[in-house]
Amino acid sequence: MALPSQLRRRDFGTLWAGSEGFNVNMAKARTAYVCSECGADFSKWQGQCGACGAWDTLSEIVLETAAAAKSPASRRGSWAGKVDPPKVTALRDVQQGEDVRVSTGIGEFDRVLGGGLVQGAVVLVGGDPGIGKSTLLLQAVASMAANLPGLYVTGEESLAQVAGRAARLGLQVDGVDALAETGIERILEQAAQLRPRIIVADSVQTLWTESLTAAPGSVSQVRESAARLVRYAKETGTAVFLVGHVTKEGGIAGPRVLEHMVDAVLYFEGDSGSRFRVLRAFKNRFGAVNELGVFAMGDRGLKEVPNPSAIFLSGASAQQPGSCVMVTREGTRPLLVEVQALVDASPLSNPRRVAVGLEGNRLAMLLAVLHRHGGIVTGDQDVFVNVVGGIRVQETAADLPVLLSVLSSLRDTPLPDKTIAFGEVGLSGEIRPVPNGEERLREAATHGFLRAIVPKANAPKGGRSAYKGMEVIAVERLADALEQA
C-alpha cells in the first residue's frame, strides 16, 4: 500500500522538524585522525602518518559533537554580524608588560625555569612514576602560597592522600586549596570562583572534557583539556603546572603537540637506586634550554643541591684506572663529572660497545679515531663507558675524557691525580675547542684540580701555562693528548 504523501521520504524530515525527540536532519559529529607524534590530522585513517612518517600513530578524535554543531554559539561569527572581528595592532604599538618573575622558594627549580616563575606561564613536568613530580610541585605551590594562592587539582589521588603528603613533608599549606576532579569544565568553574594565581593539574592524562566523546587519556581529550588550561592561563595570567606521564621510550604520553602548546617542558630524571634527582629543561620560552637542577630525595621531600659538582665526583682518595674527570656545561653553569671506562678482552666475535650517559654511536666513532690516529687497538675488547651520577652528557666536550679513560683502563694505569680534561675529537685526530673554556677551567680550579688537558684554542695563553695555580696543557692532536696523559 502506498504511503500518504506527507509520510514520503522527501517530506519525512519536514514533518518531524522541531521535534525534540527525533530529527533525521540532525548534525553528525565531525571526526578526524590525528598523529600522536607530530599532531598532523587527516580525514581518513592510514597506517603511516603522511607528515612525519611514523607508523600506527593515527587515532580518531571528535572535532565537535552534534550538540555543539547545532548550538547557537557554534554558529556565531563575524559572518553573522554578532561578533566583532579581531583587532589588528601594529607590532611597534604593542605595549610590553614587565617580565616579573616570582621565586618558587626552591633555588634549583628557579634556575631551570630561567630565574623564577613567569605570570601566565604553562609548564609541563614529566618523569617516571615515583620520581618526585608531585612532591616537587606540592613543595613549590606551598612555598609560594604566602604571596600567590594556589589550587592543587588531583585526578589520581584523594584529598586525604595529598594532605597526608603535605603533613609528612612538613609543609605550610595555608593559602593552598585542593580539588579532586578530572572534568575540565568543573575545574575551570572552580578556578573562576577561587581565582588562584597558581594551578597544578596532576595529571594532564586524567583530564577530560564533556564536549568530546573520546575516553579520558586519549589524544583528543589530552589535547583539548590542555588547550583549555593554556587559554585560561593566558587570559587570566595564572601560572599552570601540568604533570605528564611518560611512555616506555621516555617521552611524555599523549600527542606531541602537547609539548608545543606549553611554554616550558621539564623532565625529571634519576636512577631508581639513587636518591639524587635531576630536573632538565628541554623547552623554555623564558630561559635557557638544557638548564639543569639537582635535588636530593629525603624523608622531608626534595632538597636542592647547590654544589652539584661535588656529588658527581666519586670522592675516591686516589685516582683509579679507567677514570677521568671532565668539565661539562649544562645550561648556564659548568659541572664536574666523572667518566669511567672498563676495557676487557671480549669472548664474543663482535665485541660490545656500551655507553651509559653518552651516545653509543659516538663511542664507536671515537674508538675508531683512537685506533687510526692513536695506534690503540680495541677491536678485540669489550668497552663499557659510564658517566657517574646518572648525568647524560650530550656535548662533544666529552670526547677527549672518554678516550683518556678508555686508554687508562686498557693500560691499567690511572691518570695523574687531580687531572681534568675536555675537548672535541675530530675524525682526523685533531682536538677541537669547545665553548666557554675559561669558565670550565675556573670551575676545575675552584674544586682543587691541579692539571688540565684542553684544546689549544681553549688555553688561556697557549702552550703550557698556569691558571689560578693549575697547570694547563694545550694539545692540538690526539697523539699529543695521549702522550701527555
Residue 306 corresponds to which cell in the numbers above? 647547590
Rounded Cα distance between 40 and 347, Å, is: 48
Count the helices and strands in the chain (H runs, E runs). 14, 24
pLDDT at 431 over 70: yes
Give the residue, 477 or 246, on which the prediction is more confident: 477
Supply the pLDDT for residue 336.
93
Ranges of CATH 3.40.50.300 domains, the chain: 101-306
Q: In which order are the strands placed within the sheet that holds 381-387?
A: 353-356, 381-387, 333-345, 323-330, 419-421, 451-455, 470-475, 465-467
Amino acid 100: pLDDT: 80
What pLDDT, on a 0 to 100 scale, did the predictor assign at position 440? 94
Please confirm whether the linkage preceding 220 is cis (ω < 30° from 0): no
* pLDDT tens sequence across 360-394: 999 999 999 999 999 999 999 999 999 987 788 98
Whole-angstrom distance, CA of residue 218 vs CA of residue 222: 6
Cα torsion through 142, 143, 148, 151, rounded to 10 = -20
> To which residue does cell 659538582 refer?
309
At 84, is the pLDDT very low, low, confident or very high (cuts 50, 70, 90)? Answer: low
pLDDT over 70 percentage in the chain: 86
Percentage with pLDDT > 90 across the chain: 57
Sign of CA dihedral 250, 254, 257, 263: negative
DSSP E strands in 311-378: the ranges are: 323-330, 333-345, 353-356
Query: Does CATH number 3.30.230.10 belong to domain 311-484?
Result: yes
For residue 73, pLDDT beyond 70? no
What pLDDT score does 32 carry? 80
What residue spans of 170-297 are helical by DSSP H?
A: 184-194, 219-236, 257-261
pLDDT in tens, 246-303: 877 777 776 778 899 999 999 988 876 778 888 999 999 998 887 889 999 988 899 9
List pLDDT tens digits, range 38-70.
Answer: 777 888 888 998 888 888 888 777 665 444 444
pLDDT at 315: 57
Average pLDDT value over all residues in the chain: 85
Fold for 101-306, please state it: Rossmann fold (3.40.50)
Write down the pLDDT at residue 318: 60
State the CB neighbour count (10 A cutoff) for residue 112. 27
Q: What is the location of CATH 3.30.230.10 in the chain? A: 311-484
pLDDT of residue 180: 96
Q: What is the pLDDT of residues 157-185, one digit of tens each?
A: 999 999 999 999 999 999 999 999 999 99
* Residue 301: predicted pLDDT: 92
pLDDT value at residue 33: 84
Rounded Cα distance, 109 and 433, in Å: 31
469, 445 Cβ separation under 8 angstroms: yes
pLDDT at 108: 93
Residue 461 predicted with pLDDT over 80: no
pLDDT tens column, 6-19: 444 444 344 334 44
